[in-house]
Structure 1
Amino acid sequence: MEFKDQLKSYIQQLNCTAKELSIATNLSAAVISRYKNGLRVPNLNSDTINKLATGIKEIASDKNIQIGSIEDIENSFIDTFSNNNVDYDIFSEKFSLILSTMNINVSSIAKYLNFDPSYISRIRTAQRHPADVKLFSENVGHYLFNTYRRDSDKLQLSNIIQKSVIDITKEEDFVKIISKWMCSNQVNHSQRIDYNDIISEFVTLIDEFNLNEFTDAYRLMAEHIQSEPTKLPMCKTYISSSAVKQFTADLFKYMLSNTSQGPVYFFADSSLSSYFQDREYLQLFISCFALLLIRNVQINIIHNINLPIENILEGMRTWIPFYLTGQIKSYYIDNISPGIFNHFEFYSPHLSFFGENLRSTGNLSYFYISRIKNELNFYKKRMNAIFDEALPLMEIYKADRYKDFFDFLSENAKEKGTRHEILPTLPLHTISDSLLERILDHNSISLDDREKIISTTQKCRKIVAQSCKHSYLIDEFPILSKEEFEENKPSLSLSKAFYEKTISYSYIEYLEHLELTRRYADKVPNYIIKSNENTNQQNILISSQGGKWVLVSKSKAPAIHFLFTHPHLRNAFEQYMADLNNNLICKNKQI
C-alpha cells in the first residue's frame, strides 16, 4: 500500500473531507490534496506524519470511531515508505553508530541477519545498501531487543536514538522505534561525542601525574590544618543553604581526626560536580580522600556508569590521582536508576557521612557526619549491601601484581581477536637480544634490573608470537627523523616491566630497532605496523582487543596499567585509538 492509499483509507473510515483533515492537522488543504493524489509524500524527518496521525485521531475521537492510537496511525504511514525515501548515507551512518556505540561484533550481527560479514561492513560504510531497508532495520531492531536486555544497555541505546526504550517491553513496539529512527533522514549531531578530546585529556592527566608532588602537597595541607586546635562533636547535621560548604570544611577536620587504617567505602549515584558546584569545595572534598591515601588506606569506590560517557569520564578524571597510587578499587552497579535526589555515602570504622541534594536544582541539601558506634554499625551493614551489588569497573596492575599482569596477557594471547597498540616509541618485543644488551650496557643498568627487563622482553615476544598465530596485531608508533629524535629523545618502552627509570637509545640504536621492527612485520604475516605521528604522550601505551578490553599503561612513576572492560569506557578508548590512526608504514621507507 502506498502512502496516498493509506491516507485515503483513513479519510474513508472517518467519512471526513480534506478540509476537515486540514483543520485538524494544521496542514493546508493544498498539501492534503497533494498527499491524497500521490503528487507528494512527506519526509520522514519532518513532523508532518505526527500532525496527520494526531489530526486523524482527533477526528476519530470526535466521531466516536475506533481507529487505534496516534503511534499506530504513525506506524501505518511509515510502513508505506519505500527505500526511495531513505538517504543511504544517513542510514549507514546510523547503522555504524549503533554498531560502534553498542560494541556489536560484525560477525555476530551478520550471523543473526543471515548476511555475510563483509556485506554488513559495506553497508556500514555506505558502499552497499540493503535491498529492503525497512526490513533490514526491523531485523536490526529484533537483534538489539534480544541481545541487549539490561537497563544500562537500553540507556545507551536511548542516548543514540534520543528516545527512551528502557520501559519498552514488547518486542514489536521496540522494533518499530528502532526502524523508524534508522529509516528517518533526520540527523541529530548533538548525540555525537568528541571522544578524541575527552580521552586525550584523560590520558594526558595520567601521563603528567607526579605521585611525589601529589602526596607532598596534601601532607603539607594536613599538617597545617592539624596544627589548628579543634573540637568535633560525635555527629553533626547540615541543612542550611550553605550546607555544602560548611559540611566540606568540617569533613576535612573529621578526616584529620580519623586514624583508621582499615579500608573505606564510598558510593555516589552521580558525578561529584552535582553536589559541589563550587570547585574550591569540590577540591577540598577530594582532599579528604587524599588524607586517607597518605596514610596508605585502601579506598573502595562505586561509580555510576549509567550516564553519558563524558559524565563518566568527568567523574573518573577527578579520581585519577587516587587510581595512580594503586590504593583505590573501582566498582559499578548495573541499572542504577536516577531518582529525585543525588546522594552519596561514605563508611570507615571510625567515621561515616551521608549527603543528598535535589537532582534538578542542587538545592535542598542535607548532609550528616557521625562517629556514633551504633550508627557506624548501621552504615557498615548498609554499605556492605550496596557493595554486594557491585562489579569491578577496572583492573589496576602495579609492580606488586607483575605476575597477575602477565598471567592475564598470556591467557588472553590464546584468544582470537585483533589486537591494537598505540606506542610512544618502538615495541619491546621486536628488539634483538644483542641490541638490548648493548643498550643496557651503556645505560649502566644493574644486574637485577637487567634480568627483569630481559625476562619481560622474552615474555612479550612469546605473547605476541602466540596471538599472531591466529589473529592480527597492529602496532602504531611515531617514526622520528634525526632532528626529531635529538629534540625529544625516546626511551625503551618498558611499561610492561614496571620499570620507571629512563633507558635511552642512541640514534643509531633507534634506527636498528626500527629496522628490526620492519623485518619482524615482514616475517610475521599477522603483524602490522603503522606510522602514527598523532600520539603526544611520552609515557603512555594504549592497547586493545576489539570488543574485549582496553589497556592504558604508564611507564614513568608510577608505572601502572589500567584494564578497562566495561563497554562504555572501552568503546570511548577504541574510538580514540581509531582517531589516531595514520598511514601504513612502507617497508622500504627511507629516513
Structure 2
Amino acid sequence: MRFEEALNGYIHQIGITAKDLADASGLSTAVISRYRSGERTPAPDCEPLLNLSKGLARLAQRKGMDGFTQPELLSALQKSLRYDEKEGNRLAVNFDLLINVLNLRSSDMARALNFDPSYLSRIRTGQRTPANSAAFAQGVGNFAARRCAEPSERAALAHLMGVQQGALSEDGACACEVAKWLLSGAASQKNPIISFLEKLDNFDLNDYIRAIRFDELKVPTVPFQLPTTRTCYGLENFRQATLDFLKATALSRSREPVFICSDMPIEELAQDMEFSKKWMLGLAAILKKGLRLDMVHDLNRPFGEMMLGLESWIPLYMTGQIMPWYLPGRQNAVYGHLLFCSGAVAVEGECISGNFAHGRYLFSKSGSDLAYYRRRAEAILKKAQPLMDIYCGTAENVYGSFLAAEALKPGKRRSLLTTLPPHTLSEECLSRLLEKNGVPDSDGRRMLEACAQ
C-alpha cells in the first residue's frame, strides 16, 4: 500500500476531513492535500510525519475509537513509504543529500568515477540504480574523502551522517564511512530543500509585514553619535558593529546603494535570535528608506547554511529593491572576509575559516575609507554574476520576453513546485476564482490570456 493510500484510508476510517487533520497536526491544508494526492511524500524520519501520526491519533481518541495509537500509526505510515524496502531509493536519497550538503560538483565526480554526468543525475533522482551499488558507494566515498579534506567540510560530513568527526580523520576511514552511510544510513539532519519548500509553502508576505510592523515602520531622522572609526574583535563586538552599520545607514542622508558581501559562516550569528531580529529590522528600515541593496551571496557555503540564509532573505527579495549576486568559481577556503558599505559607513572584517569569533573588524565613517571601500565594492560587482533575475511591475514586458524566449530553448527542465500552476485550472474555474476574489476585469483578462498561452 502506498503512502497516500494509507493516509486516505485512515482519514476515511476515522471519519475526518483534511481540515480536521490539518488543525490537529499543525500542518497546512495544502500540505495535507499534496500528501493525499501523492504529489508529495514526507521522509520517514521527518517531523511532519510525526505530527501527522499524532494528529490522526488525537482525532481517533476524540471519537472514542480504539486501535489508532500514535506509535502504531507512525510505524504503518513509515512502512508505506517503503524506504527500507528499496536499497536504490535509500541510495538515491543519501546520494542527493551528500551532493547538496557538501556542495559537490556532479561533473567533477563523473570524471573521477568515469561515469556520464547524466547517469549520476538519474541515480540522484532514483530513476536508475547502479549495477553494483557497493562499488558505486565506495567510489563516491573515495571522491568525497579527497574533495572534502578541510576540517569544516569533515565536520559537515560528520553532522550529516551522525558520526563523530574523529571517525573521519583518515581518508580511508572517511571513504568507508561515507560508503556505508550511502547504502544504509539515515540522515541525521532534515533535508534542507524540504525544509525550505515547507517554509515557502507556509510563508505569507502580509503576515510577515504585520509581524515586523513593516507597514508602520518609520525611518527616524534624529541624529545620534557614533565614533568615526573603531577596530573591534570577537563575535559580540562584530554583532554591535553590524547593527551600528544598519542604524547609521538608515539615519544618514545618503541615497547611495548599500553593498553587502560576506563568506563568513552565519550559523553562529543565527543562534542569537535577538540579533537576527534586529538585523532583519535594520534591513527593513534601509529598504523602507528606498535604498537599493546589492547582496553578494557565497554559494560555497555548506548547503544547509545557504538554505538558512535564503529563508531569511525571501521576504526582503519581495520588495524588488535587492539585487542578488554571486562570485563564480570556488573561492579561498582558508580566509573569511566581509565588506558592508553604504554612503555613510563601512564595516570590513577578516578571520581564518572556522575562527569567526576570533576575527578582526573595522567600523569606519571616514570619507577616505568610504571612498576606498566603495571602489572595492564596485570592483567586486564587476566580477560577480546575477544570482537571479527579479522582475517588478515596471518590468512586465521584459519578464514576458524572458518567458517567451525561455520556452523555445531546447533541453530538459526540472521544476520544484509548491503547488499546481494556475494554467492547470480550466478557464471557467479560473474565471470564477478571479471574480470571487474581486480581481479587476482588466487584470483578470490578462491572467486568462497568460494561462491560455
CA distance in 1, matches of 2:411, 2:257: 38
Aligned residues: 350
1:299 aligns with 2:299: no
CA distance in 2, matches of 1:419, 1:197: 16
| Code of the aligned partner of 1:236 | R
Q: What corresponds to 2:49 in structure 1?
A: none
Matches within 5 A, 1:265-284: 265-275=259-269, 277-284=271-278
Deviation of 1:406 (Å): 3.2
Deviation of 1:182 (Å): 4.1
**Percent of residue pairs bearing the same amino acid type:** 19
Deviation of 1:114 (Å): 8.2
Q: What corresponds to 1:213 in structure 2?
A: 210
Shift of the 208–184 alpha-carbon distance from structure 1 to 2, 3 Å rule, reads closer
CA contact (8 A) 1:211 1:324 kept: no
Q: What corresponds to 2:309 in structure 1?
A: 315
Q: What corresponds to 1:352 in structure 2?
A: 346
Shift of the 402–210 alpha-carbon distance from structure 1 to 2, 3 Å rule, reads farther
1:198 aligns with 2:210: no
SS at match of 1:394: coil
| Code of the aligned partner of 1:375 | D
Residue of 178, 186, 189 corresponding to 2:186: 189
Shift of the 441–327 alpha-carbon distance from structure 1 to 2, 3 Å rule, reads closer
Deviation of 1:448 (Å): 2.4
CA distance in 2, matches of 1:139, 1:386: 38
Shift of the 454–288 alpha-carbon distance from structure 1 to 2, 3 Å rule, reads same
Residue of 316, 319, 324 corresponding to 1:330: 324
In structure 2, stretches of 5+ residues that fail to align are 1-84, 101-105, 166-170
Shift of the 284–212 alpha-carbon distance from structure 1 to 2, 3 Å rule, reads closer
Q: What corresponds to 1:388 in structure 2?
A: 382
CA distance in 1, matches of 2:418, 2:118: 34
Matches within 5 A, 1:383-422: 383-414=377-408, 415-417=410-412, 420=415, 422=417
1:369 aligns with 2:366: no
1:164-215 CA-partner distances (Å, limit 9, x unpaired):
9xxxxxxxxx999979954888755346643365214531463355465378
Q: What corresponds to 2:131 in structure 1?
A: 129
Deviation of 1:379 (Å): 0.7
CA distance in 1, matches of 2:194, 2:353: 27
Shift of the 345–275 alpha-carbon distance from structure 1 to 2, 3 Å rule, reads farther
CA contact (8 A) 1:237 1:367 kept: yes
Deviation of 1:401 (Å): 3.0
Deviation of 1:353 (Å): 1.6
SS at match of 1:325: coil
Shift of the 251–276 alpha-carbon distance from structure 1 to 2, 3 Å rule, reads farther
Q: What corresponds to 2:448 in structure 1?
A: 454
Residue of 319, 334, 337 corresponding to 1:339: 334
Shift of the 339–279 alpha-carbon distance from structure 1 to 2, 3 Å rule, reads farther
Shift of the 129–179 alpha-carbon distance from structure 1 to 2, 3 Å rule, reads farther
Larger Rg: 1
| Code of the aligned partner of 1:283 | K
Shift of the 192–364 alpha-carbon distance from structure 1 to 2, 3 Å rule, reads closer
Deviation of 1:418 (Å): 5.5
CA distance in 1, matches of 2:188, 2:126: 18
CA contact (8 A) 1:89 1:126 kept: no
CA distance in 1, matches of 2:397, 2:290: 23
Shift of the 199–263 alpha-carbon distance from structure 1 to 2, 3 Å rule, reads same
CA distance in 2, matches of 1:355, 1:409: 41
Shift of the 180–186 alpha-carbon distance from structure 1 to 2, 3 Å rule, reads same
SS at match of 1:346: strand
CA distance in 2, matches of 1:284, 1:446: 38
CA contact (8 A) 1:238 1:246 kept: no
CA contact (8 A) 1:347 1:380 kept: yes
Matches within 5 A, 1:97-136: 97-98=94-95, 102=99, 113=115, 129-130=131-132, 134=135
CA contact (8 A) 1:90 1:185 kept: no
Q: What corresponds to 2:71 in structure 1?
A: none
C-alpha RMSD of the superposition: 5.1
Q: What corresponds to 2:32 in structure 1?
A: none
Residue of 213, 225, 247 corresponding to 1:231: 225
Deviation of 1:253 (Å): 3.9
CA contact (8 A) 2:326 2:385 kept: yes
1:428 aligns with 2:423: yes
Deviation of 1:239 (Å): 4.1
| Code of the aligned partner of 1:390 | A
In structure 1, stretches of 5+ residues that fail to align are 1-87, 165-173, 460-591
Q: What corresponds to 2:237 in structure 1?
A: 243
